[in-house]
């Protein structure tokens, strides 16, 4: 299984791009804010992902590097995840309910070069 992780990330990234083009105007993410539903289209999601991917590359993060996502469930989470895998980096999701000690341990053990929080 270890050798397939790169292929899985490439497949996820490829499928995301394909679906973003195929369903560009359809809703990709929907969430409720102040009793109002907000929609993000696949096209907007793709644009946000590409912007974050460029940001990571500017930070000298690339293939094989680990990037933590330390966020509760919110609309930015998939943006960060797909940005990370689209550049060949490895997403390290961390439970935002984890203690500071647990977070520090995960970051140290994983060797993350950047944290989205």
Q: Which domain holds residue 50?
A: 2-116
Q: How far apart are CA 57 and CA 40, in angstroms?
A: 24
What predicted TM-score, i.e. pTM, was given to this entire model?
0.87
More confident residue, 3 or 58: 58
Number of domains in the chain: 1
**How many Cβ atoms are within 10 Å of 51's Cβ, its own excluded?**
11
Categorize the per-residue pLDDT at 1 as very low, low, confident or very high, splitting at 50, 70 and 90.
very low
pLDDT 10s digits, 44-103: 999 999 999 999 999 999 999 999 999 999 999 999 999 999 999 999 999 999 999 999
pLDDT 10s digits, 84-94: 999 999 999 99
* pLDDT the model gives residue 24: 94
Domain CATH number, residue 23: 3.40.50.980
Burial class of residue 28 in the structure, from the number of CB atoms within 10 Å of its CB (0-12 exposed, 13-18 middle, 19+ buried): buried
Q: Which structure tokens are listed for 79?
A: 């943006």
| Whether the Cβ atoms of residue 107 and residue 98 lie closer than 8 Å to each other | no
| Whether the Cβ atoms of residue 87 and residue 117 lie closer than 8 Å to each other | no
Q: How far apart are CA 117 and CA 115, in angstroms?
A: 6
Q: Which structure tokens are listed for 95?
A: 């439970």
């Amino acid at each position: 299984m270890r050798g397939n992780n790169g292929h899985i990330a490439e497949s996820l990234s490829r499928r995301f791009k394909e679906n973003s083009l195929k369903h560009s105007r359809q809703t990709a993410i929907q969430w409720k804010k102040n009793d109002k539903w907000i929609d993000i289209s696949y096209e907007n999601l793709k644009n946000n992902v590409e912007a974050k991917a460029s940001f990571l590359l500017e930070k000298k993060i690339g293939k094989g590097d680990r990037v933590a996502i330390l966020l509760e469930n919110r609309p930015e989470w998939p943006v960060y995840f797909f940005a990370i895998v689209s550049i060949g980096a490895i997403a390290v999701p961390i439970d935002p309910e984890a203690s500071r000690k647990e977070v520090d341990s995960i970051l140290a053990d994983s060797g993350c070069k950047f944290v989205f929080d």
